[in-house]
């Protein structure tokens, strides 16, 4: 009887150990790199190489890995279904995605290469919600769920919504989940021009460090990216892991063993306590300082100095509303701490433009271009904003420069088409819209603009056809052009 009890105790200990730390064979990963988006003017350089390197590392770490490159919506759906089918209670499930991501309705969506996105509803139809994916993984019983999302890029869809949709949104994930974005919430970064992203370079460096728990691995990655980018890129982490997990199988507990006792009268402090409550904790940099007072705004005037020496005019209701906008508050606080934060300048310009504050938007794009005169996205956005307010000669100069730097930049062709349309150069407008539609046949603004230009040049039936097709794709296109002062 004693022998039987002993064997039973050994068996129970074995089962408990297996439950607490899933075996290497219970590790499953889906790695996706999407680079060739038809709506973008050029393929992304980083996602494919990054996906291959991450997949290779995870295989070395004992994961059963499936990798997909340039996946369509149907292919992504099959890939996720395959991952779900492998999972069993206690499994580890990891998803890595590199490509374009879009936030909509406070959720983050991974975008397949064949997505047709013209409105926010299309994002929810064609994209894959990260929260939905993590929820499905959780329903299959996975004990540890990890999502590594490198998708905080300036995407080709952001100008279509005319609302702030850049970057990714916080994720509401089930317990036992570790999520990391390559950049802070609602922020975007530009590819560094190399073959690998800074995020993946630092991630792979830290994964290979032995004796680290996953939370510490990702936190060290965040620190590495922040330092290497000089604070311009700060990854975001959220964790609700309820058990220890290391990327390297067989690694010890979440804290390294204590050092040998020192012969001294001072007792070393104990290691920090580890909470057992699986409450989600976002690991992020310290909050920014409080925002400055609302700026005094005078349209069509040169930018005021940062320190006012004389009182300005009383702020209008719109100015107060803009100053109270939480996104503008956050970006203004960043710029108060660092006036040369080019990413914050560009993003605040986008927000101002989306709210119709075009003069403020132009000032921020001015600042962005002062720091980087070759920023084609800022040139294009300033061109578009100037076109809307009627500063057509300056707008044309911006669009020409953007297209000189990037000859097939479809958004700049579309913006220059608007400039030519408003200035009465209908033939030039048709030429620009033709070039944009050759690159992207479903660019609604170019299709509608070309229809108007054809009508004005005397090709009534052809113009009517373009306008009808544009309205069928986007019923709000007429109101959009009304807002530009084009009817």
Q: For residues 205 and 197, give the distance between their C-alpha atoms in angstroms, rounded to a whole number.
A: 13
The CATH number of the domain holding residue 129 is 3.40.50.1460
**Residue 126 located in a structural domain:** yes
Q: Within this chain, do residues 257 and 182 fall inside the same structural domain, yes or no?
A: yes
**Residue 308 located in a structural domain:** no
Of 283, 312, 343, the domain-final residue: 283
Residue 323 neighbours by CB distance under 10 Å? 17
Q: For residues 19 and 190, give the distance between their C-alpha atoms in angstroms, rounded to a whole number.
A: 42
Q: What is the pLDDT of residue 413?
A: 92
- Assess contact for 167 and 186: CB atoms under 8 A: yes
Q: For residues 363 and 305, give the distance between their C-alpha atoms in angstroms, rounded to a whole number.
A: 12
Q: Within this chain, do residues 420 and 477 fall inside the same structural domain, yes or no?
A: yes
Which range marks the domain in which residue 150 is found?
Answer: 20-267+272-283
Nearest to 32 by CA among 14, 55, 4: 55
**Residue 160 located in a structural domain:** yes
CA 331, 336, 340, 345 dihedral sign is positive
Q: Within this chain, do residues 44 and 186 fall inside the same structural domain, yes or no?
A: yes
**Residue 3 located in a structural domain:** no
Q: List, in sequence order, every residue forming a beta bridge with 149; answer none if it has no partner.
A: 97, 181
Q: Within this chain, do residues 344 and 211 fall inside the same structural domain, yes or no?
A: no
Q: Within this chain, do residues 355 and 447 fall inside the same structural domain, yes or no?
A: yes
Name residues whose C-beta falls within 8 Å of residue 117's C-beta, 6 or more positions apart in sequence: 39, 102, 111, 123, 126, 127, 157, 160
Q: Within this chain, do residues 60 and 139 fall inside the same structural domain, yes or no?
A: yes
Nearest to 179 by CA among 255, 284, 256: 284
Q: Within this chain, do residues 194 and 338 fall inside the same structural domain, yes or no?
A: no
Q: What is the pLDDT of residue 230?
A: 84
Of 283, 311, 330, the domain-final residue: 283
**Residue 45 located in a structural domain:** yes
**Residue 140 located in a structural domain:** yes
DSSP β-ladder status, 236-239 and 177-181: antiparallel
Q: Within this chain, do residues 197 and 337 fall inside the same structural domain, yes or no?
A: no
Q: Within this chain, do residues 368 and 278 fall inside the same structural domain, yes or no?
A: no
Q: How many domains does the chain have?
A: 2
**Residue 314 located in a structural domain:** no
Q: What is the pLDDT of residue 53?
A: 93
Residue 210, Cβ density class (10 Å: 0-12 exposed, 13-18 middle, ≥19 buried)? exposed
Quick check: pTM over 0.75? Answer: no
Q: For residues 86 and 81, give the distance between their C-alpha atoms in angstroms, rounded to a whole number.
A: 9
Q: Within this chain, do residues 244 and 174 fall inside the same structural domain, yes or no?
A: yes
Q: For residues 451 and 346, give the distance between their C-alpha atoms in angstroms, rounded to a whole number.
A: 31
The tens digit of pLDDT for each residue in 150-192 reads 998 877 776 665 444 567 888 888 899 999 999 998 788 766 5
**Residue 291 located in a structural domain:** no
Q: Within this chain, do residues 220 and 72 fall inside the same structural domain, yes or no?
A: yes
Q: Within this chain, do residues 169 and 261 fall inside the same structural domain, yes or no?
A: yes
The CATH number of the domain holding residue 418 is 1.25.40.10
pLDDT digit of tens for each residue in the chain (487 aa)? 334 444 444 444 333 333 334 544 599 999 999 999 987 778 898 999 999 999 999 998 899 999 999 999 999 999 999 999 999 999 999 999 999 998 887 889 999 999 888 777 788 889 999 999 999 999 999 999 999 999 988 777 766 654 445 678 888 888 999 999 999 987 887 665 677 899 999 999 899 887 789 999 999 999 999 988 888 899 999 999 888 899 986 544 333 333 333 433 333 444 444 333 344 444 445 455 555 444 443 344 344 434 333 344 555 555 666 777 777 887 888 899 999 888 788 878 877 887 788 899 999 999 999 999 998 888 998 998 999 999 999 999 999 999 999 888 878 899 999 999 999 999 999 999 999 888 777 678 899 999 999 999 999 999 999 999 988 877 778 888 988 888 8
The tens digit of pLDDT for each residue in 439-476 reads 777 678 899 999 999 999 999 999 999 999 988 877 77
Residue 472 neighbours by CB distance under 10 Å? 11
């Amino acid at each position: 009887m004693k022998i039987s009890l002993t064997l039973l105790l050994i068996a129970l200990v074995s089962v408990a150990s297996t439950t607490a730390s899933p075996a290497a064979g219970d590790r499953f990963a889906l790695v996706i790199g999407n680079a060739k988006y038809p709506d973008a003017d050029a393929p992304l350089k980083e996602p494919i190489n990054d996906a291959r390197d991450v997949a290779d590392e995870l295989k070395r770490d004992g994961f059963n890995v499936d990798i997909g490159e340039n996946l369509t919506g149907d292919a992504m759906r099959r890939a996720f279904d395959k991952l779900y089918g492998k999972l069993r209670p206690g499994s580890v499930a990891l998803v890595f995605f590199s490509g374009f991501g879009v936030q909509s309705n406070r959720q983050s969506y991974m975008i397949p290469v064949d997505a047709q996105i013209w409105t926010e509803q299309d994002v929810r139809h064609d994209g894959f919600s990260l929260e939905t994916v993590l929820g499905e993984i959780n329903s299959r019983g996975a004990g540890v769920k990890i999502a590594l999302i490198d998708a905080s890029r300036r995407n080709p869809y952001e100008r279509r919504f005319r609302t702030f949709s850049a970057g990714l949104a916080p994720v509401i994930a089930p317990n036992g989940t570790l999520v990391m974005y390559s950049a802070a919430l609602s922020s975007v970064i530009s590819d560094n021009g190399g073959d690998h992203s800074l995020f993946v370079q630092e991630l792979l460096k830290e994964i290979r460090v032995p004796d680290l728990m996953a939370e510490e691995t990702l936190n060290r990655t965040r620190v590495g990216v922040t330092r290497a980018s000089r604070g311009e890129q700060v990854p975001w982490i959220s964790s609700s892991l309820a058990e220890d997990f290391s990327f390297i199988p067989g690694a010890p507990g979440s804290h390294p063993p204590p050092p040998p006792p020192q012969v001294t009268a001072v007792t070393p402090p104990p290691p920090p306590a580890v909470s057992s409550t699986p409450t989600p904790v976002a690991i992020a940099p310290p909050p920014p300082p409080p925002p400055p007072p609302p700026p005094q705004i005078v349209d069509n005037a040169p930018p005021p100095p940062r320190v006012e020496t004389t009182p300005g005019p009383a702020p209008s209701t719109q100015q107060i509303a803009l100053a109270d906008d939480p996104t503008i508050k956050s970006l203004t606080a960043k710029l108060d701490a660092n006036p040369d934060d080019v990413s914050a300048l560009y993003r605040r310009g986008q927000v101002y433009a989306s709210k119709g504050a075009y003069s403020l938007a132009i000032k921020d794009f001015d600042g962005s271009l002062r720091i980087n005169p070759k920023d084609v996205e800022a040139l294009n956005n300033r061109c578009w904003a100037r076109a809307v307010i009627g500063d057509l000669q300056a707008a044309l100069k911006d669009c020409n420069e953007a297209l000189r730097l990037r000859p097939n930049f479809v958004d700049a062709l579309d913006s220059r088409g608007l400039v030519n349309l408003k200035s009465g150069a209908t033939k030039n407008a048709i030429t620009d819209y033709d070039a944009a539609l050759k690159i992207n046949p479903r660019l609604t603004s170019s299709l509608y603009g070309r229809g108007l230009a054809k009508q004005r040049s005397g090709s009534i039936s052809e113009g009517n056809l373009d306008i009808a097709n544009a309205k069928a794709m986007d019923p709000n296109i007429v109101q959009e052009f009304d807002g530009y002062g084009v009817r």
